[in-house]
Structure 1
Amino acid sequence: MALPAEQDLLQSLPELTSVPEARFWVAYSGGLDSQVLLDIARRCIPPRQLRAVHINHGLQAEADSWEQHCRDYCQLFGISFTNKKILVVPSQESLESAARRARYQVFESLLDEADYLLLAHHQDDQAETVLYHLMRGSGLRGLSGIPAQRTLAQGQLIRPLLPFSKPELREYAEGHQLSWMEDHSNRNTDFDRNFLRQQVLPLLKQRWPEAVQSIQRSAGLAQEAEHLLAVLAQIDATGVIDTDKNSIALAGLKNMEASRQRNLLRYWFGQLHARYAIPVPGFNELSRLVNELIPAAEDALPLVSWSREGVEVQARRFQDRLYVLKNFSGDCQLQALPINPGDKIDLPANLGKLNLRESEHGIAISENDCLEIRFASEQKSVRPQGRRSRSFKKIYQDYKVPPWMRDRMPLLFRNGKLVAVADLFVVDGEDDERAENHVILCWERAG
């Protein structure tokens, strides 16, 4: 009988014995799949390392009953139980997407370094995911389906049941006399995944009994191809992508054929999404980048914008580079933010974070100085250290600051006097080496 035995789970978690302080969080809804996963986990993971987390969405009348079922099971077997009630508020997304996003925010908040989150996705879930992305016209990433393991926040997300089918999980549950809750909302075929689960997959299995396994195999091949494209993108990225400035050299892109341009851009946007939560553009936006923005004349000011999950993004070009940034929210010109050495503050208008780091060299300060971050100066000109005085406009041109950023640069004032312009330069004469204390500005841009 092919069942997800305890040894199979152990083999999928090689760090279990080598990292004794690791915690294993099982996402426990109380349904059949997660009930099987938690039952297996409690048999092979030491109790001190095992945790169950239940997410109560509050979307159904039975939500509290589900929560109580999960709480009772964990109490019966001495499993540490965490319950999280969340409020699902869909904006420009479906209820399904909003609920998923809210769940993962909870998961990310729980995971520390060396922690694992175990999810109960199985072969049938994989088939649904691939079919769903196929109907949306997705590329290889979507057709790769659900990964067996990936990084999540500080920890790792693992799906140990992915090699097993739904009937195998049911057979295990019945063989071990488990009880579980039935989610009646799964019968509502108004939801895309339910439609695939209730109507499409049974029909495919009737015609092709190994349909789920075949789709799983195709997803694995797509994952291989996706990996090879990522390797190619890493090669193409050399000398083209500037991760510090969130920009990409158009000259390098122009030398590539369109398909290679799109591949590199997808890779780059994946990096930006992981680092700054910048949403990845869809097919239409990516096509506009390749067909309109990249080949535009040097003096043109093309703009491509898109929005996902309430985050608005724009792509611009400046001095033969492509920049991507979140839309600025609000005006920061009149703001003055107090800051002290060692502080890390949030800047307004989606500008990121600023850290005033103590250093052996840099901006000279004394104990009683009043330090502020502003975004406007009454001065018309400024003199960088070791250079002549020039207007702000000329200085920003010299430092290749894009036009849309020039009135949003964080300026450091000491006792009302400008002493540094962002992380670009220290004003001439403000780096007195005789001073006992010095600081430098470190700006973490938000993308």
Structure 2
Amino acid sequence: MNNILLKIKKNTNIKKKILAYSGGLDSTFLLYTLIKNKIRAIHIDHHQNEKSYIWTQHCKKICKKLNIYLIIKNIYIQNIQKKGFESQARNLRYKKIKKHIQRKEILLTGHHKNDQVETLILSLKRGSGPLGLSGMREFKKFQKIKILRPLIYTSKKKIYKWAIKNNVPYINDYSNKNITYDRNFIRFKILPILQKRWNYFIKNSLKTMHLCKEQNLLIKYFIKKSIKNISYKKNKINLFKIKYINKILRNNILKYWIKKNTKHLISKNNINQINKNLIFLKKKNTKIKIKNFIIEKFKNTLLIKKFQKKTNNLILYWSQIKKPLILPHKLGFLIFDNKKKKNIPKPKKNEQINIKFNTKGKLLTLHNKYITLKKIWKKYKISKNKRINTPLLFYNNKFVSVIGIYDHSIKYFKKKKSLSWIK
């Protein structure tokens, strides 16, 4: 137990700690280890077992006895038969924890040595590279939550012996033996056979994971050095330079670059598409969509940007100017602001106020002169991806302003755009 406490202090200087407490053996072991520390606990009821209410009451009872503050929250999982059930449950669980974790608080979980080996086998099943085969990290961030796994090098056997010796009550969830789920299948069907044949299997698996971790760090080091020579900015790569880099290095650079910009790991198929359709295809302005991001070729550059829903030909009517106008696609809203320096003509009594987006052709202004948006975009150096969703102000179909850009009195906000009128 002292070793675990030292590990927690070594990995983080954060004093605030919250334990993901299921009531099972592993989290119970951690709970009792940390009794004398300032700690909170959170229990998530998945409502997947008829006994889940009894387990919640058990967690309440134990925490009350040990004088530990406990948060109890519920999650409800749809499509239970779906293959991605485990990842769906994990994501919902962490989303719920995120809402209740305090600033500068670290989450402790009960993952142990056996869990690591199960993760290795799952990674082999998926065909993962060195990163996947290096297993779960002792300390990591997930959904902006700092997570520490202090038991990651402690065996299940050792934890079980402690529970028997100290006669500590814990929940034994028999549904965990449901081998429909991959992890349970590995735990109860695969690992026992491997350990019976080779009693050193878990020990050597951890060695392999450590070697993969080292190899991944080495690859990362060389990629970081290489990417400096071929990138203009964080989201831009010189197309000419990357084209003539060794294929293996190029593929690893692309993986690293996309992960850095999107937080997504991409498949080998995605890499092949980028090579074939963007890097080596002479056709201009080609694009590839990966999740909610677009990778495109622009002149001699490979560019990555967030996918934006187009608002072309969309017209919004603002009949009540005293009320905020909600913009589409989570772009924010417009609000009339009396406090701002007045730089926009106030609409006349019967004038219709319209908001349009990225309108093409010549625009007729209030002074009965024509202007093109192209000139405005160039003058104010507005990038193509910003142009699509920038709101344009019209009175009776006469162009007044590009909100936040063309008029100097208005700042461009991501969540809120303010207007002011000239009296």
TM-score bin (small chain):
0.7 to 0.9
Q: Deviations over 1:32-57 (max 9, x none)?
A: 111111111214x13xxx11111111
2:296 partner SS: strand
Q: Please say if residues 112 and 154 of structure 1, whose CA atoms lie closer than 8 Å, have aligned partners that are also in contact.
A: no
Distance in 2 between residues matched to 1:40 and 1:213, nearest whole Å: 24
Structure 2: runs of 5 or more not aligned: 348-352, 416-423
Change (3 A) 1:421 1:233: farther
Q: 2:300 aligned with 1:320, yes or no?
A: yes
Change (3 A) 1:412 1:13: farther
Distance in 2 between residues matched to 1:268 and 1:146, nearest whole Å: 22
Distance in 2 between residues matched to 1:329 and 1:298, nearest whole Å: 24
Q: 2:277 maps to what in 1?
A: 292
Q: 1:167 maps to what in 2?
A: 157
Q: Which amino acid is the alignment partner of residue 181 of structure 2? A: F
Q: TM-score, normalised by structure 1?
A: 0.76
Q: 2:21 maps to what in 1?
A: 28
Distance in 2 between residues matched to 1:126 and 1:80, nearest whole Å: 29
Distance in 2 between residues matched to 1:215 and 1:302, nearest whole Å: 44
Distance in 2 between residues matched to 1:225 and 1:418, nearest whole Å: 59
Q: Deviations over 1:310-360 (max 9, x none)?
A: xx554332223334455545746224799x9xx9x996336x66999x9xx
Q: Please say if residues 106 and 145 of structure 2, whose CA atoms lie closer than 8 Å, have aligned partners that are also in contact.
A: yes
Change (3 A) 1:391 1:224: same
Which of 60, 68, 80 matches 1:71?
A: 60
Which of 358, 377, 392 matches 2:373?
A: 392
Alignment of 1:333-372 (within 5 A): 333-335=314-316, 348-349=328-329, 365=342
Q: 1:13 maps to what in 2?
A: 9
Change (3 A) 1:401 1:124: same
Q: Which amino acid is the alignment partner of residue 334 of structure 1? A: I
Deviation at 1:418, TM superposition (A): 4.2
Q: Which amino acid is the alignment partner of residue 256 of structure 1? A: I
Distance in 1 between residues matched to 2:236 and 2:76, nearest whole Å: 36
Deviation at 1:14, TM superposition (A): 3.7
2:412 partner SS: strand
Q: Please say if residues 354 and 441 of structure 1, whose CA atoms lie closer than 8 Å, have aligned partners that are also in contact.
A: no
Q: Please say if residues 293 and 303 of structure 1, whose CA atoms lie closer than 8 Å, have aligned partners that are also in contact.
A: yes
Q: Which amino acid is the alignment partner of residue 76 of structure 2? A: L
Q: Please say if residues 311 and 357 of structure 2, whose CA atoms lie closer than 8 Å, have aligned partners that are also in contact.
A: no
Q: Please say if residues 111 and 154 of structure 1, whose CA atoms lie closer than 8 Å, have aligned partners that are also in contact.
A: no
Change (3 A) 1:373 1:290: same
* Structure number, greater radius of gyration: 2
Size of the aligned set, in residue pairs, is 395
2:34 partner SS: helix
Distance in 2 between residues matched to 1:305 and 1:179, nearest whole Å: 51
Structure 1: runs of 5 or more not aligned: 384-388, 432-437
Q: 1:216 maps to what in 2?
A: 206
Q: TM-score, normalised by structure 2?
A: 0.80
Q: Please say if residues 355 and 442 of structure 1, whose CA atoms lie closer than 8 Å, have aligned partners that are also in contact.
A: no
Deviation at 1:439, TM superposition (A): 4.2
Q: 2:246 maps to what in 1?
A: 257
Q: Which amino acid is the alignment partner of residue 283 of structure 1? A: K
Deviation at 1:253, TM superposition (A): 2.1
Q: Deviations over 1:234-283 (max 9, x none)?
A: 22332644667x44332332232222222122222222334xxxx43222
Change (3 A) 1:228 1:90: farther
2:168 partner SS: coil
Q: Please say if residues 369 and 414 of structure 1, whose CA atoms lie closer than 8 Å, have aligned partners that are also in contact.
A: no
1:236 partner SS: helix
Distance in 1 between residues matched to 2:394 and 2:299, nearest whole Å: 33
Q: Please say if residues 178 and 184 of structure 2, whose CA atoms lie closer than 8 Å, have aligned partners that are also in contact.
A: yes
Distance in 1 between residues matched to 2:402 and 2:288, nearest whole Å: 33
Q: 2:180 aligned with 1:193, yes or no?
A: no
Percent of aligned positions with the same letter in both sequences?
24
Q: Please say if residues 143 and 222 of structure 1, whose CA atoms lie closer than 8 Å, have aligned partners that are also in contact.
A: yes
Change (3 A) 1:112 1:411: same
Change (3 A) 1:190 1:75: same
Alignment of 1:24-423 (within 5 A): 24-43=17-36, 45-46=37-38, 50-90=39-79, 94-153=84-143, 155-238=145-228, 240-241=230-231, 246-274=235-263, 279-299=264-284, 301-307=285-291, 312-325=292-305, 327-329=307-309, 331=311, 333-335=314-316, 348-349=328-329, 365=342, 374-377=356-359, 380=362, 391-393=372-374, 399=381, 401-402=383-384, 405=385, 408-411=388-391, 413=393, 418-420=400-402
Q: 2:421 maps to what in 1?
A: none
Distance in 1 between residues matched to 2:111 and 2:334, nearest whole Å: 41
Distance in 2 between residues matched to 1:355 and 1:119, nearest whole Å: 44
Distance in 2 between residues matched to 1:266 and 1:346, nearest whole Å: 37
